[in-house]
Amino acid sequence: MYSSRFYVGLDLAWGQRKPTGVAAVDDGGRLVYAGAATDDKSIRAALAPYTQGDCLLAIDAPLIVTNATGQRPAEQQLNADFGRFQAGAHPSNTGKPEFADFPRGARIARDLGLDIDPQSTAPRRAIEVYPHPATVALFRLGRTLKYKAKPGRGLAQLRAELLRLMEHIESLAQADPALRVADSEHWTQLRSLAEKAERKSELRRVEDPVDAVMCAYVAMHAARRPDEVTVYGDGQTGYIVTPTLPSDLDPAPPEPTPGAILDAIATYAERVPALTQSTGHYLKAVTGLLDDAGINYLSVTARTKTVASFAAKADRTVDGRRLYTDPLSEITDQVGVRVITYLRDDVAAVANLLGEEMRLLDDRDMGVETASEGRWGYTSRHLLVAVEGEQQPASVQVRTILQHAWAEFEHDVRYKGSVPEEDAPDLDRRFTLAAGLLELADREFSAIRERLRSTVPSERAPQTSSDPRIPTPVLATYLGNRFPDAGWSRTEHYAWIAGLLLELGIDSVDGVEVILSGIDTTAVNAAMDYRYPAGAVRRLDDVLLAVFGNRYLQLAGNDDRIELLASRFQRLNESLGGA
């Protein structure tokens, strides 16, 4: 069952035959309907399930028009604020046939029994809205999105701009109030249609319902956050309700080459499917390298930059000048990978590993750059890497879990722009203090690991288990003591290597010690010539390969990496002169 109150959007066409978008959002912020209708009868039928009880209907069409010529006062006032963002309203007057009698939007509201007074507190009412300025204010756009079909706008550009709008709407899941469209079957269908559209008419069928969703959200925003909306005009001469324009938002400056940014955005939208495949390739490659090296990490994630995010970056300005002249080549984080580690030492290990195994195009230590400025703040290692077979490089961020927490929270607070200007200095001070404390915590975690490395295995309490493998804590402690210069490995990797040891008939650390004592482990490590400190499990893996050779290669637990092990075995043979 849906909630008893709905926020409804109506992107009303000016004619009975043209499509009108209809959308409804329930009181929990869930999109429950998005579709289209044509004449008044079909519109009322589409609205009926959502307007019988308490509701707020937001209509993108004039409800009150009394002026014979020119613009309404509401349009003049709105244009004074939003005109410079290319979001001004068209003039409405009774000299136009559609407003000569009774405006269509007002007639529909009347038929549904809805109060159209902008100051009304009635449980069932309707208001006039305008999606273009709403998107500028809500998404902090320097100009409106150009998804409306007009002369000179090609299919690729229209599709890119419409997808950009849809991604912005999807981002409202993190807004207040939140709008949840991801689970809506209607939204999924609209998105699929937009992505696959091969004609402008197909985009138009998506455009109207999407505009209606925007209207519905404005209704919810106006009801939930009335102090953050502006009512232009009044109930006598006409009005328009829209989210308030942020005082610090500036319009986008003119492009050096008109249309270049829009063309770049359209081209990027065309590339997204291929970039998504590349993202999966990089994710698999980075994860495989870390696992093979035995480096301990919390998570590896990847994402393809959304069209909306690319467009926002491509449109970015600094001191009134555009930051990018060729966004498609200058924006390098179109494919992004993020590695989160537990400790600072592992950040360097990951960076060194990726620099060795991939083609390193750039390497920036943001922590060092921040520290060189004599302050605490954002700390992360930024790598730009490439691999064979991929034309697009990947931007890889590597940071500890504490650095990640600081960066995500700081970005979230500043991005939402919810901090009053007068509180900004105190906010900056508190973020700086938090960064300093987290750096100290990172150091203490590293010190704890160093202390544990020096712990003798016999000092640990014995554990009983029906598992015949060497217990993970016992093996981890032993290897940490045996290879004090090695990094910690992931917990599941100790259990994995214990399984391989069991296949070799080794079920105790004494048995492992016998193997390690019979070979120069330092020479084995030198033969592998790692640029990074290999994890403890990788160190043991190399020794077992050197000692047991082909027998180790044929273990059942190594079935999925025989080719990789064979390559490492050859390297060992060439350096050590045989296994």
Q: What is the residue-wise DSSP string for 79-132?
A: HHHHGGGT-PPPP--TTSHHHHSS-HHHHHHHHTT-B--TT---SEEEEEB-HH
The pLDDT of residue 201 is: 92
pLDDT at 238 exceeding the cut of 50: yes
User: Per-residue pLDDT averaged across 200-223, rounded?
Assistant: 96
Residue type (1 letter), 85: F
pLDDT of residue 421: 66
Cα–Cα–Cα angle for 537, 541, 547, nearest 5°? 145
Which segment of 28-37, 45-54, 223-232, 466-475 scores lowest on mean pLDDT?
466-475
Average pLDDT over residues 380-396: 92
Q: Between 222 and 314, whose confidence is greater?
A: 222
d(CA 397, CA 304) in angstroms, rounded, equals 14
Higher pLDDT, 24 or 317: 24
Report the C-alpha dihedral over residues 77, 81, 83, 87, rounded to 10 degrees.
-100
C-alpha span between 244 and 344 (Å, rounded): 44
Tell me, yes or no, if the pTM score tops 0.75: no
Is the per-residue pLDDT at 461 higher than 60? no
Query: What mean pLDDT is predicted for residues 211-232?
Result: 97
Judged against a pLDDT cut of 80, whether residue 487 lies above it is answered with no
Specify the DSSP class assigned to residue 454. Answer: T
Closest CA to 517 of 537, 538, 543: 543
The three-state DSSP-derived secondary structure of 174-214 is: HCCCCCECCCCHHHHHHHHHHHHCCCHHHHHHHHHHHHHHH
pLDDT category at 443 given cuts 50, 70, 90 is confident
Is pLDDT larger for residue 263 or for residue 127? Answer: 127
Q: Cα–Cα distance between 451 and 566 in angstroms, integer?
A: 36
User: What confidence score (pLDDT) does residue 190 get?
Assistant: 97
Q: Which has more pLDDT, 154 or 68?
A: 68
Average pLDDT on 51-66 reads 96
The pLDDT of residue 430 is 73
User: What residues does 359 pair with on adjacent strands?
Assistant: 386
pLDDT for position 284: 95
Q: In this predicted structure, which of 245-254, 365-374, 511-520 has the lowest mean pLDDT?
A: 365-374
Average of per-residue pLDDT across 256-272: 84
Looking at residue 360, its pLDDT comes to 92
What is the residue-averaged pLDDT of the chain?
88
- pLDDT on residue 407: 73
- pLDDT at residue 292 is higher than 90: no
Q: Is the pLDDT of residue 377 over 70?
A: no
Report the pLDDT value the prediction gives residue 473, as an integer from 0 to 100. 83
Please, which pLDDT band fits residue 417 given cuts at 50, 70 and 90?
Answer: low
Quote the pLDDT of residue 459: 41
Give me the pLDDT at residue 294, please: 83
Does 62 sit behind a cis peptide bond, omega within 30 degrees of 0 on the bond before it?
no
Q: What is the percentage of the chain residues whose pLDDT exceeds 70?
A: 89
